[in-house]
């Protein structure tokens, strides 16, 4: 299967669909899901130190004997490892667990207590060829603006909660102007809403012979967003990447745009208590 790509501002192509490993905590289930994903065409995998499954992902990919150059691997530095020295240590721990000598993308997981030192470490690792692209996650416009004071390399991507009930239009417009790619976590609202029961999605899906979930994921694709839907269900894993035999019309996109209720289901990026607690 051919998966479309987005080109980051440094010229690196990132597959628009990847498997998200958030909340995959059972080792055998995680390994099985990754194997299923490989079989149906996934080559992009998104993990993080905080997920606790980097080692399982690394071993499973090795067992599947997929050429490293064909893979796109993302991980993230957790809040308690932010800062220049700790970030370099965290990065080494991540690539050791993933059994690789480089990452395709490394992100700052949250806007923590020492973003400046963390970003300096990412820039150096990038310039040393240890990371092919560097970026951030859960950053607001204000966060991104503040980085301009010290960043010599601007983030290539920002991974944020995005779905039709919370399309992040203002942030998306800002990032488009700045040349920062938009990546969506929770692209289906993490099952925390009635999103996939919405009649508009069913009506559109019926016309294309697609499920409401596929309509939502295609909406992301047509908005030039990178998506990392998470599933351990083999049917859904296959369904979530089977998006490239149809496209939505402008009318379809407008109908989905009308679904926006500005409702976030995940954590607020400016949850200072959470940042402080997890930075210890």
Q: 149-199: per-residue pLDDT in tens? A: 999 999 999 999 999 999 999 999 999 999 999 999 999 998 888 999 999
CA distance 5 to 183: 12
Which tens digit of pLDDT belongs to each residue from 19-62? Answer: 999 999 999 999 999 999 999 999 999 999 999 999 999 999 99
Catalytic residue among 42, 51, 126, 165: 51
Q: What is the pLDDT of residue 192?
A: 83
Count of other CB atoms within 10 angstroms of residue 110 = 26
Q: What is the pLDDT of residue 108?
A: 98
Domain boundaries along the sequence of the chain = 5-189+225-231
| Among candidate residues 225, 242, 246, the one with its CA nearest the CA of residue 40 | 242
Q: What is the pLDDT of residue 47?
A: 98
End-to-end C-alpha distance for the chain, whole angstroms: 44
Known binding residue 109? Answer is yes
CATH fold of 5-189+225-231:
TIM Barrel (3.20.20)
CA distance 134 to 68: 19
Yes or no: say if 159 and 184 are a contact pair by the CB < 8 Å rule: yes
Q: What is the pLDDT of residue 1?
A: 72
Q: Is 51 a catalytic residue?
A: yes
Q: Does the model's pTM come out above 0.95?
A: yes
CA distance 276 to 72: 31
Buried (b) or exposed (e) across 168-203, using 16+ Cβ within 10 A?
Answer: beebbebbeeeebbbbbbbbbbbeebebbebeebee
Q: What is the pLDDT of residue 190?
A: 84
């Amino acid at each position: 299967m051919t998966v479309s790509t987005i080109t980051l501002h440094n010229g690196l192509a990132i597959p628009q669909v990847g498997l998200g490993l958030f909340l995959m905590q059972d080792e055998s289930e995680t390994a099985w899901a990754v194997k299923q994903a490989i079989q149906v065409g996934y080559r992009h995998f998104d993990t993080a130190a905080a997920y606790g499954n980097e080692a399982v992902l690394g071993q499973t990919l090795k067992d599947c004997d997929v050429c490293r150059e064909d893979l796109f691997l993302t991980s993230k530095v957790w809040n308690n490892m932010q800062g220049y020295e700790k970030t370099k240590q965290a990065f080494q721990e991540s690539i050791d667990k993933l059994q690789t000598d480089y990452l395709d993308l490394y992100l700052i997981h949250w806007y923590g207590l020492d973003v400046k030192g963390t970003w300096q470490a990412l820039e150096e690792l990038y310039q040393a060829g240890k990371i092919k692209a560097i970026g951030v996650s859960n950053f607001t416009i204000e966060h991104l603006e503040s980085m301009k004071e010290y960043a010599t390399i601007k983030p290539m991507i920002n991974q944020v909660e995005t779905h039709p009930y919370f399309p992040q239009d203002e942030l998306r417009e800002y990032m488009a102007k700045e040349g920062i790619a938009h990546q969506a976590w929770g692209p289906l609202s993490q099952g925390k809403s009635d999103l996939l029961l919405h009649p508009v999605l069913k009506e559109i899906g019926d016309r294309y012979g697609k499920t409401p979930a596929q309509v939502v994921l295609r909406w992301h694709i047509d908005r030039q967003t990178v998506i990392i839907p998470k599933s351990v269900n083999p049917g859904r894993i296959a369904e979530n990447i089977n998006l490239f035999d149809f496209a939505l019309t402008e009318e379809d996109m407008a109908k989905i745009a009308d679904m926006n209720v500005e409702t976030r289901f995940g954590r607020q990026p400016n949850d200072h208590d959470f940042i402080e607690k997890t930075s210890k």
